[in-house]
């Protein structure tokens, strides 16, 4: 018999899938690291389990404890699955721009969800950064995860996602392209791949309204770069410790409209029903066309599943209201 001891045993070892129609204009092979095959339907299951295991190991998380985190949904799902198996409670703080589906999904796996306003400064006491920190201090036997600065986030991708990509491409990968939020995925995968072959190029996909691209290019944290945007999961108004700018070769910014339109295109033209940051990621790959040669093997990572976006990017009424489609 071949079975996992519990649902956590099914995390990782996701497939690599060739992109076809959408990349017809590119000279090279483009392969998608398809992370929705994880049990929580996103790449975040990997780092959620790693963060919990590391916190258990050094006593930050104790038996029967409460896990507290500010999460846009996917990390929460990963944490909640592990919490169910391991016997912890979860309180998640989420910003009000996140899709309702994401909040409902977290409640479905037993978490308490606290919703905070998006359009306030990170230092504002109502911001989701501040509220999660405060709940961490006020709740007894609790552990505040802090995926932005928690090194176990990056470590999970160094230990699993990076090696999988290296092995699945037989060491032939030349470029890695991925959306950047906390930075865990790009930094963990990027450092592993560069350790195996320093010539591999690592590109981050950023949003308009986020500080990453300008900071990478100039070293300046420019507050004028910060404004509300629609794209979910990527871009930040802070510099998380998990973004290792040294291993990133460059950033490309994708507009909210393009990210939304390409989320639909992935579903309709490739049969890939994925989240909004996947749309941004593949548009980012297309924007980088001039960097690719025929012999290159480009790996793009898709973070999460389309079901979380049925009220937005997969709702044509919403798409029209936003002015993204005619």
Ligand X SMILES: Cc1ncc(COP(=O)(O)O)c(C=O)c1O
**Distance in Å, CB of 263 to ligand X, minimum:** 11
Residues that bind ligand X (CB under 6 A): 72, 74, 179-186, 232-234, 275, 277, 303-304
Q: Is 44 a known active-site residue?
A: yes
* Exposure class string for 251-273: b at 16+ Cβ within 10 A, else e: bbbbbbbbbbbbbbbbbeebebb
**Distance in Å, CB of 112 to ligand X, minimum:** 20
Q: Please say which residue, 29 or 79, places its beta carbon nearer to ligand X.
A: 79
**Distance in Å, CB of 52 to ligand X, minimum:** 16
**Distance in Å, CB of 61 to ligand X, minimum:** 20
Q: What are phi and psi of 187, to 5 degrees?
A: -75, -40
Q: Please say which residue, 29 or 177, places its beta carbon nearer to ligand X.
A: 177
Q: Please say which residue, 186 or 298, places its beta carbon nearer to ligand X.
A: 186
In the complex, which residue's CB is closest to ligand X?
Answer: 233
**Distance in Å, CB of 34 to ligand X, minimum:** 14
Spot the catalytic one: 18, 21, 33, 44: 44
Q: Measuring CA to CA, how many Å separate 231 from each of 55, 74, 130, 136, 238?
A: 31, 15, 22, 28, 16
Q: Please say which residue, 65 or 204, places its beta carbon nearer to ligand X.
A: 204
Q: Please say which residue, 69 or 270, places its beta carbon nearer to ligand X.
A: 69
Q: Please say which residue, 29 or 175, places its beta carbon nearer to ligand X.
A: 175
Report d(CA 144, CA 71) in Å as an integer: 11
**Distance in Å, CB of 183 to ligand X, minimum:** 5
Instruction: Please identify every residue annotated as catalytic.
Output: 44
């Amino acid at each position: 018999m071949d079975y996992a001891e519990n649902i956590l045993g099914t995390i990782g070892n996701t497939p690599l899938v060739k992109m076809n129609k959408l990349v017809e204009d590119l000279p090279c092979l483009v392969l998608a690291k398809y992370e929705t095959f994880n049990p929580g339907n996103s790449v975040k299951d990997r780092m959620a389990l790693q963060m919990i295991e590391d916190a258990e190991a050094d006593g930050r998380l104790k038996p029967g404890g409460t896990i507290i985190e500010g999460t846009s949904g996917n990390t929460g799902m990963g944490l909640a699955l592990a919490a169910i198996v391991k016997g912890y409670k979860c309180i998640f703080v989420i910003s009000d721009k996140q899709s309702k589906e994401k909040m409902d999904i977290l409640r479905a796996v037993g978490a308490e969800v606290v919703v905070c306003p998006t359009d306030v400064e990170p230092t504002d006491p109502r911001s989701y950064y501040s509220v999660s920190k405060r709940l961490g201090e006020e709740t007894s036997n609790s552990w505040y995860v802090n995926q932005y600065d928690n090194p176990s986030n990056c470590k999970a991708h160094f230990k699993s996602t990076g090696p999988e990509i290296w092995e699945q491409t037989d060491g032939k990968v030349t470029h890695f392209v991925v959306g950047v939020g906390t930075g865990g995925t790009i930094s963990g995968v990027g450092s592993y791949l560069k350790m195996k072959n320093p010539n591999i190029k690592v590109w981050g996909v950023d949003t308009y309204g986020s500080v990453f691209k300008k900071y990478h290019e100039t070293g300046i944290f420019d507050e004028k770069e910060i404004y509300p945007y629609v794209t979910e999961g990527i871009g930040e108004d802070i510099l998380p410790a998990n973004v290792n700018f040294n291993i990133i070769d460059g950033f490309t910014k994708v507009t909210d409209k393009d990210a939304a339109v390409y989320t639909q295109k992935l579903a309709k033209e490739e049969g890939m029903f994925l989240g909004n940051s996947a749309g941004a990621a593949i548009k980012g790959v297309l924007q980088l066309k001039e960097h690719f040669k025929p012999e290159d093997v480009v790996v793009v990572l898709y973070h999460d599943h389309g079901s979380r976006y049925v009220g937005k990017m997969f709702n044509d009424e919403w798409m029209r209201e936003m002015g993204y489609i005619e």
